[in-house]
Amino acid sequence: MKNFILTLAIFGAAFFGMTTPVEAGNYHNHCGPEVYKVRTCEIDRCKYKKHAYNHCGKRYSYWVTVITYKDYYSNGSYRDWKRSIS
């Protein structure tokens, strides 16, 4: 039983001692340049009338504003996204 535990400990030490830099967590050294956001522009703003019901069942109206933005990134890519304001 002692030999089995000793063999297992030696095998574990050898296995974990032979990791490459990628396995050890140094994988950031091989990545390309970091991409960052350059600017954000508002490209559209719309108002929509919505309807809902209160706790008594009476209908009421309210306005929702939806704003569309565009994010530009340092590598030339972009992303559109929307935000709602009640």
At 58 the pLDDT is: 96
At 86 the pLDDT is: 84
At 14 the pLDDT is: 58
The C-alpha R_g of the chain, in whole angstroms, comes to 29
Residue tagged 């306005």 (tokens): 63
- Average pLDDT over every residue of 43-61: 95
DSSP E strands in the chain: the ranges are: 37-53, 59-73, 78-85
The 10s digit of each residue's pLDDT in 5-51 is 666 666 666 555 555 555 555 555 567 789 999 999 999 999 999 99
Supply the pTM of this predicted model: 0.55
b/e per residue 15-29 (b: at least 16 CB within 10 A): eeeeeeeeeeeeeee
